[in-house]
């Protein structure tokens, strides 16, 4: 028998609609409704302004380590905007803009990065998972959610976020494989921002694209200019529609760039050149969008000021809030507190009463200790 070709189809598309010079491919313009487009631009800008504010808050010691998103606003908003509230969003830890879009209040994001788990609790009925830190481990959860939705005849779609580094993890493989076998409504959105801390994409995989990995799992993968809001939106909408129509998963690789640090604990000058960053700054997802909005007559003035005021008010509310009670660490370990945790809770309560005069016997904190960040504001 001769050698025969069993898989002749292997091609990966790359979609760009509005390029970094602001040149638009009219034929491909997804014609996002004006209201939505304005909201999306506003959300990108909010993501950028909050990001910059949070980096400063971290530098001032008012929140802890934080993973900035600067440069990835289009990848996040272009994709998340295709979901309805009935759909599920599964983030990793660098999806601030997408999470704000889904309704997470700024204060909660600040709480989370100030070291309080209260920041990780979605609102009742909100179909979002909280920030997940161990890389790629959230991806099987997304597939399980999608399986459950299908099992319950719920037409919800699940969108899962991760980075280029995550595609090296076993959980990426297992999640993608299960998604393919089960043919579930999940959209994998990889923000390939070129760097997993200090390790560049070419050391992460010898494959030319991440998108092509989907083919091995039996579903489509597509690469898109991740800094092009229009292209990300067009590709994701198609994937979400496919998923909702029962056509299974899609892997979207958003080619983007982390313009800032990995986290506020990182110094990227150790591993990448200024020139590289400058080249990507020219491809900024926000910059190219402004002339597009102007051409459509959708650019309104004063948005930056509005957003800054919104952020300032949220920071103020966050810092004015009383410190959450330390005793609550015992409250949600199990549905019902077992005896050994009752004992440990009593022990902590007694100790707190000793070191915190004015603390109520019932464990309520009457002195309103400053939060971790607040203490350092008196510089």
Phi, psi of 360 (to 5 degrees): -65, 150
Binding residue (CB under 8 A) for another protein from 152, 206, 270, 379: 152
Binding of another protein by 140 (CB under 8 A): yes
| Given the residues 262, 288, 292, 359, the one annotated as active site | 262
Rank residues 59 and 343 by Cβ distance to another protein and give the closer one.
343
Stretch that binds another protein, among 5-13, 166-174, 247-255, 262-270 (CB under 8 A): 166-174
Rank residues 338 and 360 by Cβ distance to another protein and give the closer one.
338
Q: Least distance in Å: CB of 351 to another protein?
A: 18
User: Could you give the CA distance from residue 194 to residue 258 in angstroms, rounded to a whole number?
Assistant: 7
Alpha-carbon distances, residue 123 vs 94, 119, 120 (angstroms): 20, 10, 10
Stretch that binds another protein, among 7-15, 119-127, 240-248, 250-258 (CB under 8 A): 119-127
Binding residue (CB under 8 A) for another protein from 143, 234, 307, 371: 143
Among this protein's residues, is 183 annotated catalytic? no
The three-state secondary structure class of 108 is helix
Q: For residues 275-292, b (16+ Cβ closer than 10 Å) or e, as one string? A: eebeebeebbbbebbeeb
| Given the residues 53, 62, 127, 258, the one annotated as active site | 258
Stretch that binds another protein, among 29-37, 228-236, 298-306, 323-331 (CB under 8 A): 323-331
Binding residue (CB under 8 A) for another protein from 146, 224, 252, 289: 146
| Given the residues 56, 86, 208, 271, the one annotated as active site | 271
Binding of another protein by 357 (CB under 8 A): no
Binding of another protein by 335 (CB under 8 A): yes
Stretch that binds another protein, among 74-82, 137-145, 204-212, 368-376 (CB under 8 A): 137-145
Angle at the Cα of 112 from the Cα atoms of 270 and 267, rounded to 5 degrees: 5
Among this protein's residues, is 334 annotated catalytic? no
The three-state secondary structure class of 178 is helix
**Pure H helices in 261-356:** 274-281, 289-295, 303-320, 339-355
CB atoms inside a 10 Å sphere around CB 156: 20
Window 280-319: contact mask with another protein (x via CB under 8 A):
----------------------------------------
The three-state secondary structure class of 158 is strand
Alpha-carbon distances, residue 9 vs 14, 181, 206, 220, 332 (angstroms): 16, 19, 20, 11, 51
User: Could you give the CA distance from residue 78 to residue 101 in angstroms, rounded to a whole number?
Assistant: 11
Binding residue (CB under 8 A) for another protein from 145, 159, 187, 255: 145
The three-state secondary structure class of 14 is strand
The three-state secondary structure class of 194 is coil
Q: Segment 169-208, which members bind another protein (CB under 8 A)?
A: 170-171, 174-175, 177-178, 181
Q: Least distance in Å: CB of 116 to another protein?
A: 10
Rank residues 64 and 120 by Cβ distance to another protein and give the closer one.
120
Size of the chain in residues: 379
User: Could you give the CA distance from residue 299 to residue 308 in angstroms, rounded to a whole number?
Assistant: 17
Binding residue (CB under 8 A) for another protein from 121, 168, 205, 356: 121
Alpha-carbon torsion angle 258, 264, 270, 276, nearest 10: 20
- How far separated are the first and last CA of the chain, in Å rounded? 80
Q: Least distance in Å: CB of 47 to another protein?
A: 23
Binding residue (CB under 8 A) for another protein from 304, 338, 360, 376: 338
Rank residues 272 and 337 by Cβ distance to another protein and give the closer one.
337
Binding of another protein by 244 (CB under 8 A): no
User: Could you give the CA distance from residue 43 to residue 97 in angstroms, rounded to a whole number?
Assistant: 7
Among this protein's residues, is 206 annotated catalytic? no
Binding residues for another protein, rule: CB under 8 A, are: 117-118, 120-122, 124, 129-130, 132, 134, 137, 139-149, 151-152, 170-171, 174-175, 177-178, 181, 328-329, 331-336, 338-341
Q: Which residues are catalytic?
A: 258, 262, 271
């Amino acid at each position: 028998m001769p050698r025969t070709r069993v898989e002749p189809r292997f091609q990966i598309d790359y979609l760009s609609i509005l390029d970094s010079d602001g040149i638009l491919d009219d034929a491909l313009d997804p014609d996002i409704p004006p209201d939505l487009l304005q909201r999306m631009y506003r959300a990108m800008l909010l993501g950028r302004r909050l990001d910059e504010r949070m980096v400063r808050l971290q530098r001032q010691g008012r929140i802890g380590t934080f993973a900035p998103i600067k440069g990835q606003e289009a990848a996040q908003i272009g994709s998340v905007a295709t979901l309805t509230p009935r759909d599920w969003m599964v983030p990793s830890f660098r999806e601030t803009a997408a999470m704000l879009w889904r309704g997470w209040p700024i204060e909660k994001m600040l709480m989370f990065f100030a070291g309080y788990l209260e920041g990780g609790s979605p609102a009742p009925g909100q179909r979002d998972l909280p920030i997940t830190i161990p890389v790629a481990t959230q991806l099987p959860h997304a597939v399980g959610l999608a399986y459950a939705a299908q099992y319950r005849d719920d037409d919800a779609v699940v969108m899962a976020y991760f980075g280029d580094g995550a595609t090296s993890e076993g959980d990426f493989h297992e999640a993608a494989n299960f998604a393919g076998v089960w043919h579930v409504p999940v959209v994998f959105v990889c923000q390939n921002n070129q760097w997993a801390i200090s390790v560049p994409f070419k050391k992460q995989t010898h494959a030319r694209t991440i998108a092509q990995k989907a083919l091995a799992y039996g579903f489509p993968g597509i690469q898109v200019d991740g800094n092009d809001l229009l292209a990300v939106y067009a590709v994701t909408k198609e994937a979400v529609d496919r998923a909702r129509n029962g056509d299974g998963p899609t892997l979207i690789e958003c080619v983007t760039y982390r313009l800032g640090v990995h986290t506020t604990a990182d110094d990227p000058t150790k591993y990448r050149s200024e020139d590289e960053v400058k080249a990507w700054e020219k491809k900024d997802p926000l910059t190219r969008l402004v002339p597009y909005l102007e051409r459509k007559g959708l650019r309104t003035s004063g948005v930056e000021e509005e957003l800054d005021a919104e952020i300032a008010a949220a920071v103020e509310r966050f810092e004015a809030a009383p410190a959450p009670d330390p005793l609550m660490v015992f409250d949600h370990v199990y549905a019902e507190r077992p005896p050994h945790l009752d004992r440990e809770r009593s022990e902590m309560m007694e100790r707190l009463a000793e070191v915190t005069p004015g603390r109520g016997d019932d464990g309520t904190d009457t002195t309103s200790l400053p939060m971790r960040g607040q203490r350092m504001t008196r510089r």
